[in-house]
């Protein structure tokens, strides 16, 4: 799970979702509809998320600092 791999906790995820600069529809690798969020967390770090909305809860399927992608 990306949230564990990149050490991104629930408070940081909520901060990104509440303060996202970019919010757009997307598809997961499994073909499920999701929402892409990109914004800053409560530590000032830019994070990207992909969230799949369920009936009872939202599932974060991707959470990664943006600067990890830029390093490659």
Q: Which domains occur in the chain, in start order?
A: 2-70 (3.10.450)
Q: What global pTM score does this model have?
A: 0.84
Give residues with Cβ within 8 angstroms of 33, minimum separation 6: 25, 26, 27, 52
- Give the per-residue pLDDT at 68: 78
- Give the per-residue pLDDT at 67: 87
- Give the per-residue pLDDT at 72: 54
Residues of the chain with pLDDT under 70: 1-5, 70-72
């Amino acid at each position: 799970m990306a949230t564990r791999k990149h050490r991104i906790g629930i408070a940081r995820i909520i901060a990104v979702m509440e303060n996202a600069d970019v919010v757009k529809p997307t598809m997961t690798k499994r073909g499920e509809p999701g929402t892409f969020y990109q914004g800053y967390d409560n530590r000032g770090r830019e994070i990207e998320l992909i969230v799949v909305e369920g009936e009872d809860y939202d599932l974060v399927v991707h959470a990664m600092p943006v600067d990890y992608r830029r390093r490659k």
